[in-house]
Amino acid sequence: MSSHQRRRGVRAKVWKTVAHRDARGNVVLVADPTGPIDVRCALIPQRSARAEVPGQQMINITRMIVAADLPDVTLWSRVEVLGAQWDIVTPPAYHHGTRKTRHWSIDIRERP
């Protein structure tokens, strides 16, 4: 059982990270091309900046809180939530507690 926000929160899709061999034979980490994991999450806005002048970029960073059983999510994973694609900008942080309160918090940035 998890917290109310994560159990009834926003639906999101998370692509886990897998190792892939590129054309040169190097092993690189990429978002899993076979498909996403469907999760429920709580979203907490962190910071944002509007693009005031043409050529500037809008920055929108949000903290996503998900259940503790989410596997293989790293900086190379991808997230789709609120109808937009997001990149993970900080390594996911695991918060240990009771079975109801343990979770991952992941800072995500909206892709332009």
Rg for the chain (alpha carbons), in Å? Answer: 15
**What confidence category does residue 1 fall into, taking pLDDT thresholds of 50, 70 and 90?**
very low
CB 108 within 8 A of CB 64: yes
Q: Is the pTM of this model over 0.85?
A: no
Rounded to whole angstroms, the Cα distance separating 95 from 90 reads 15
Rounded to whole angstroms, the Cα distance separating 68 from 97 reads 10
8 has a pLDDT exceeding 50: yes
3-state secondary structure 33-65: CCCCEEEEEEEEEEEEECCCCCCCCCEEEEEEE
Say how many domains are in the chain. 1
Q: What CATH number does the domain containing 40 carry?
A: 2.40.10.270
pLDDT (tens digit per residue) in 47-94: 766 655 565 566 788 899 998 888 888 888 899 998 899 999 988 888
Parent domain of 99: 4-110
